[in-house]
Chain A
Amino acid sequence: MNPVLNIQVIIDGCVANNRKAQEYLYRYYYDYAMLIAQRYSRDDADAADILSAAFVKVFKHIRSFDSSRSNFKTWLRKIIINEGLDHVKSRSRFGEEIELDYEVTAAPNVNNAAIEQMNAKELMTMIQQLPPATHAVFVLYAVDGYTHREIAEQLAISEGTSKWHLSEARKLLQQKLVEKN
């Protein structure tokens, strides 16, 4: 990439619907964007679908991006997560209201050493094996830092349902890690 060009120039080019600028922007943020897309995908092909659809949305709506209000990376991340959740929704039923009266009091008995021994790809594969909705809630909460309230709003579910999915994810992951060891 031309070092003279800064990100704002590239964004301006994208606003002008310049294809080269759009390619610059895509390649500039590809690694970052692919990382997010992978977290919400079932496999590599699904991640590619999420990423391509997300970037098309980015270029279509880039005029609405206000650099004075937010960072482009944050804006891009939000779009990719939304696209990922749309993919998860398409293959899962979030409408079911699962209201469970429970409290998470104790931390699951997970061996950190086991996690340390695993590489990122293996961990990702393990998370991708969770049920789609549970997978999405776990990634939103544990990796992307959303609260249950935000998850509930994002997925149009109740906070209780979000908590249930998180609890379910922890339980399943613990089982998998135990099996692994």
Chain B
Amino acid sequence: MNNTFPYEQLIASKLEQLPAMPELADGIWQRINTALDEELPSDDDDFNHPDHDPDDDGGGTVPGNFIPWMLLVTAAVVALFWMFNKKADKSAEQVKAPIIIDSSAGTVSTVERVADDSSEMAPSPQLIQVVSDSTARMPIVAAPAITDSVMEQSSLPPPLPDSLVQIANDSTAPVQTAPDSVPVVADTSKGRKRPSGIKGVNSNDYRIVPQKDKKDSL
């Protein structure tokens, strides 16, 4: 319990009559206002009234509306750029492709894939093989993924309009040489490998006939 003396109660009652110094009120409020602006920023100054004009549609000078539009335009530009890049990559893929070398096939000296100038007519890239034969060098139009050493003619795709020549193993077949205008890569192995064997003799000529048969015939 608080036990105060009468004179203390008198002092307390006298202190209640202290002047409040109204001349300081505005200055103190300015200090409070400044402190509040730093710590509790307020965007409205009008108490008990609507903060915004209800007729105001919020457009025009409001920068907030501009931001979504900018984002949309930026996204569209990025998407277009990406699509353009993808197209460019595709066309580049058609021009350049890995070189496939069939090392197991003795007859195939070089396999190169070249761009077909008429790619518009033939959408898939064509593989053109240049075969070095004992008789002639002839390009072959082949399927893209041929790796087998034995190339069967029947498996070859039909020739393209301006693709070059279809090769037959048969020596009797008419030999077609590539026209000068066709961009066939030259056989680089020509100088390195000399044709072996005797001219006019083919592998059939070396067939061995068994002796047994002869005896039986006698």
Q: Which residue of A lies closest to B17 (CB)?
A: A120
Q: Judging by beta carbons under 8 Å apart, are A20 and B45 in contact?
A: yes
Q: Give the B interface residue count (CB, 8 A).
A: 38
Q: Main secondary structure on chain A at its contact with chain B?
A: helix
Q: Is A56 an interface residue, CB under 8 A from the partner?
A: yes
Q: Judging by beta carbons under 8 Å apart, are B19 and A121 in contact?
A: yes
B-contact 0/1 string along A91-118, CB 8 Å cutoff? 0000000000000000110101001101
Q: Which residue of B lies closest to A9 (CB)?
A: B48
Partner of B39, one of A56, A145, A146: A56
Q: Judging by beta carbons under 8 Å apart, are A55 and B32 in contact?
A: yes
- A-side contacts of B12, CB under 8 Å: 142-143
User: A-side interface residues toward B, CB under 8 Å?
Assistant: 2, 5, 9, 13, 17-24, 26-27, 30-31, 34-35, 38-39, 44, 47-48, 51-52, 55-56, 59-60, 107-108, 110, 112, 115-116, 118-121, 123-124, 127, 141-143, 145-147, 170
User: B-side interface residues toward A, CB under 8 Å?
Assistant: 1-2, 4-12, 14-22, 24-25, 27-29, 31-33, 35-36, 39-40, 42, 44-48
| Pairs across A and B, CB under 8 Å, 5 listed | A18-B44, A48-B27, A51-B28, A52-B32, A170-B5
Q: Which 7 A-B pairs have the closest CB atoms?
A: A20-B47, A142-B8, A31-B20, A110-B7, A120-B17, A52-B31, A143-B12
